[in-house]
Structure 1
Amino acid sequence: MNKAENIIVGISIGDLNGIGGEIVLKTFEDERILDFCTPVIFASIKSMSFLKTHFKSTINFHSINSINQVASGKVNVFNCWKEPVNIDFGKEDTKIGEFAIKSLASVTKALKNGDVDVLVTAPINKHNIQSEEFNFPGHTDYLAQELEGESLMFMVTDTLRVGLLTDHVPVKDISKHITSELIEKKINTVYNSLLKDFKIGRPKIAVLGINPHTGDSGVIGTEDDDVLRPTLKKIKDTGKLVYGPYAADSFFGSNNYKNFDAIIASYHDQGLIPFKTLSFGQGVNYTAGLNKVRTSPDHGTAYEIAGKGEADENSFKEALYTAIQIFKNRCDYEEITSNQLKKAPRIERKQRPN
């Protein structure tokens, strides 16, 4: 990983009938952003020109057909397709879903090849992207297959970080998925991310219970006592500062979350409802644990306001900043680790007697 002065940011355009195009345009209308990153939007110049005209954007795009044509100081558009696109704001359209996946697949290939440094994804519609070729609940699952590492949905702001044991899992199946192995794997992913991606030297992690009131000693389910508590004790015995399980209903309202560097929720809504309540519009969805950096805004396609010029770009902008900062933090971590290895005393092997 090279610590570039001007980081190349690959951007998947997402659902063109949603607000993705608008928030991308609004973000890069501030030309100061081009001083510290080079954006490459994976779409087509025709589609982006339509969006530019519709939203009266002042951006001058640099159209490219090869990744080696990327120009710093410009908003690059890598042409993933040539055919015309019928953009109809606010409408769910499987054809638009196909273009969203073309964009995602193309930028993911560039990310894997090292042609872009980080990935920021605009929102997709999880329903209209489904096909025989693409059968994933969303970005996270697809990237987990394409990239190396153990993926984890990590919702982050400057002051709040919430990870998930299970993400896009039906409520009725949650307890089946939460095993001791899964808990250890997810906590280790969060722990390592806090060290490498967020420069936190001795992370403190809280874990929320599976059942209401963490099971009330088995009255409301036994999973907390049978699986969660013993696993957390095992992890804590290794020296990691891991605490819990905490009753989820009062954890955030009591401000207890402020005492920890990260909180791990047992399932999607348990973690995301309080996260979005506390930080909606400023939060970032970060896929931790992978060998590449990917972020996205904390909202969806917002069809109800698509095309009206009302979309707030702040969450996308935060996703961009977060991706860049994590990339730099990882570079720093690798440099420090490398220097420590170089300075480590060499241990000579003892000669065996003849």
Structure 2
Amino acid sequence: MTKKAENILVGISIGDLNGIGSEVVLKTFEDSRMLELCTPVIFANVKILSFVKKTFDSQSTLHGIDSIDQLITGKINVLNVWKEPVDLNFGANDAKVGEYAVKSFKAAVEALKDGKIDVLVTAPINKYNSQSEEFKFPGHTDYLAQELEGDALMLMVQEGLRVGLLTDHVPVNEVASHLTENLVRKKIETIKKTLIQDFSINKPKIAVLGLNPHAGDNGVIGKEDENILKPTIKKMFEAGTMVFGPYPADGFFGSGQYEKFDAVIAAYHDQGLVPFKTLAFGKGVNYTAGLDKIRTSPDHGTAYDIAGKGIADHSSFAEAVYLAIDIFHSRNNYAEIAKNPLKIKEKHLESKKGN
């Protein structure tokens, strides 16, 4: 059964409380129209968020709960993951605050796994101060890959621009050693599946960027493009996947070539994220594709330099909420078609007759 819009439960991990995460979360849900699209559940502590609310003179009304069973549809619910006070110092890199960011995130992931929330939107953490014996991950994506089923892939999204990565949080001097035919094939298959299932694109076209300058110049500048990327792309294309490349990365975005494709796969982090953020910063969303659950986040970090000043732009966080809801609907539609393709075809024919 399709859920009513306001009954879609959007879980939110609060991120680093000394950063701008709590500010952009509250700003997003100050707009009452957001509560017509979903019911938010913020994994934090209602007293701390009430303090943040007063700091920024937010008009949001918070509803504190101790279990998800107590949530109220159409309200901003704050699930008390902890009860003790936390000292906040906006803009400070604080390991103790990092611990609470991880507590929030882990609790939200458990709720996602158990089906108590429908989607997860994560506010930014500090990758350094969140490290501990209990959390040794370079970011949200790696933990989600461990906890959820599927093959996690970082996909940056802004309207029709979608950029995925063959390798994400890998040092540049190790990128080449990570590239294998199996990895390339798996990432392309993940992108293809998510474009069909999550973005309702029936026959997606995918571009792959080369690792080396000029995509290796036929092996003159490095062998990886010639020996790994080209043959893998060729095999997959011949098997029916609309994948092309490898393309030289330097002019691909500036020339507008990316507009011809439904997604672009970059070889490493900065090769994909520098052009993406140049084109989409402030509106982009980080989506963890390839998993059995839905998680999105804004395309920015903790922004300590402006934390506590009340000037953070919440647009990217709001877009992350919108995208999570859109993908939730797309997956439901995809599942319905998979269960009963004939019924969907009949509906389509009836609608054409009506027109």
Name the structure 1 match of 2:221: 220
How far off is 1:3 after superposition? Answer: 3.9
What RMSD, in angstroms, separates the aligned Cα atoms of the two structures? 1.3
How far off is 1:342 after superposition? Answer: 8.3
Give the aligned residue type for 2:218: S
Structure 2 alignment gaps of length 5 or more? 346-355
- Report how many residues are paired: 344
CA contact (8 A) 1:215 1:221 kept: yes
Name the structure 2 match of 1:108: 109
Give the aligned residue type for 2:250: D
1:200-231 CA distance string (max 9 Å, x none): 01100000001010111222100100111000
Name the structure 2 match of 1:81: 82
CA contact (8 A) 2:48 2:86 kept: yes
Give the aligned residue type for 1:137: P
How far off is 1:2 after superposition? Answer: 5.4
Aligned pairs for 1:216-295 within 5 A: 216-295=217-296
User: Percent same amino acid at aligned positions?
Assistant: 64
1:332-351 CA distance string (max 9 Å, x none): 0000110028899xxxxxxx
Name the structure 2 match of 1:310: 311
Structure 1 length-normalised TM: 0.95
Q: Secondary structure at the match of 1:206?
A: strand
Does residue 1:147 correspond to 2:148, yes or no? Answer: yes
Rounded Cα–Cα distance in structure 1 between residues aligned with 2:313 and 2:98 = 22
CA contact (8 A) 1:3 1:328 kept: no
Give the aligned residue type for 2:141: T
Q: Secondary structure at the match of 2:134?
A: coil
Name the structure 2 match of 1:192: 193
Q: Secondary structure at the match of 1:269?
A: helix
1:45-99 CA distance string (max 9 Å, x none): 1110110110001111110001111110100000000110101000000000000
CA contact (8 A) 2:153 2:289 kept: yes
Q: Secondary structure at the match of 2:250?
A: helix
Rounded Cα–Cα distance in structure 2 between residues aligned with 1:17 and 1:300 = 12
How far off is 1:277 after superposition? Answer: 0.1
Name the structure 2 match of 1:65: 66
Rounded Cα–Cα distance in structure 2 between residues aligned with 1:250 and 1:105 = 40
Rounded Cα–Cα distance in structure 2 between residues aligned with 1:12 and 1:330 = 22
Aligned pairs for 1:8-19 within 5 A: 8-19=9-20
Structure 2 length-normalised TM: 0.95
Q: Secondary structure at the match of 1:248?
A: coil
CA contact (8 A) 2:337 2:344 kept: no
Q: Secondary structure at the match of 1:161?
A: strand
